[in-house]
Amino acid sequence: MSNARATHPTRRGILAAGGALGLGAVLAACGDDDKDSGGTSEGAAKSGPWSFKDDRGTTVKLDKVPTNIVAFTGVAAALFDYGVQVKGVFGPTTTKDGKPDVQAGNLDVDKVTVLGNEWGKLNVEKYAALAPEVLITTTFDTAGTLWSVPEESKDKIAKLAPSVGISVFDRKLTQPLQRMWELAESLGGDMKAQKVTDAKAAFDQASARLRAAAKARPEIRVLAGSASPDLFYVSGTNLSVDLEYFKSLGVNFVEPSEEAKKATGGWFESLSWENVDKYPADLIIMDDRASTIQPADITEGTWKKLPAVKAGQVIARSPEPILSYDKCAPLLDNLAEAIEKAKKVG
């Protein structure tokens, strides 16, 4: 896999690092952050005026519930799980063989217009042709920067339709899950459908399972990693929604040094492949996005010598989780199972 990355924090280099670097210091601000999720949603499920207050503190008001929706692929996948169909998507959507990208979830990629099939790409002309009523994506910083909206064309994009941003910065997974639920409900999602309520129950059960596993196996050290050709990234837990939630349930994570994280705004530490063994770990959870090198494709000898790798104790992690209970419950179950079965190898 060709996946060259810069060795310093850039918008594209950040994507490979198992989480997004706080982009506020790099990009122009886009609104205000509402960390405590005080935003509210209101609107008719099928007709009438619609409004939604997002996590930037911005309220979008329309004469009717929008149907011409354009969203970041992962957001579109979450809305799809709640019965809300979008018209267009931007971000990783299909792989080279035309199959849905991991971030597309159950989205029918043949029924949406793909405006850009990689992070940071959005064709303005194709976007305008869809006559969009609202653009929806996530935000990874305090400035509310819209994730994957190109910096060079964001002003043109903003003039075509209002935007909604759901924050996934420095909060536990349960918060953006609730916000996406509220957004989907306002857009006409059937939140009482059995598959929806079953998924919520499964998430709660998976959370309880992970808490129990972590309590029973506190000695198991878990490292969150991501691979590029030149560097191995070790993610900290303080800013990523999934890791913050897992940690709150008691998972014993390996943390990069604070000094090392300063260079990346607190997100991660970059290691050369020669130093990939800096932090002992019993279980490694690896970034599953297509922009990164997957464990089976890592050829570095230092990687293959890691105790967790030799023991087969490496599982996938979704640094940009699809924010539906249906997609997040398996993340918890998989980690719980791995901790339950893990051998102490460090």
- What is the arithmetic mean of pLDDT over 254-277? 91
Residue 45: its pLDDT value, please?
Answer: 47
* DSSP 8-state symbol, 273: G
Whether the predicted pLDDT of 9 surpasses 70: no
Q: Report the C-alpha gap between 201 and 170 in whole angstroms.
A: 25
Residue 69's closest CA among 28, 31, 107?
A: 107
Instruction: Tokens for 240, please give them.
Output: 């990523």
Greater model confidence, 257 or 66: 66
pLDDT tens per residue across span 330-346: 999 999 999 999 999 96
C-alpha–C-alpha distance, residues 223 and 153, integer Å: 37
For the segment 232-249, the average pLDDT, to the nearest whole number, is 96
- Residue 346: its pLDDT value, please? 67
CA-to-CA distance for 47 and 262, rounded, in angstroms?
A: 48
As a whole number of angstroms, the distance between CA 196 and CA 168 comes to: 21
257: confidence class by pLDDT, cuts 50, 70, 90: confident
Residue 173's pLDDT band, with cuts at 50, 70 and 90, is: very high
**Percent of the chain scoring above 90 in pLDDT:** 82
What per-residue confidence (pLDDT) applies to 41?
37
212-219 average pLDDT score: 98
pLDDT at 5: 31
More confident residue, 39 or 332: 332
- Over residues 139-158, the pLDDT tens digits come to 999 999 999 999 999 999 99
- Structure confidence at residue 262 (pLDDT): 83
Which is nearest to 81 in space by CA: 289, 318, 323? 323
Q: How high is the pLDDT of residue 12?
A: 38
CA–CA dist 277, 53 (Å, integer): 45
Q: What pLDDT is attached to residue 46?
A: 57
Token pair for 94: 């299909």
The residue with greater pLDDT, 43 or 155, is 155
Average of pLDDT values for 68-92?
Answer: 98
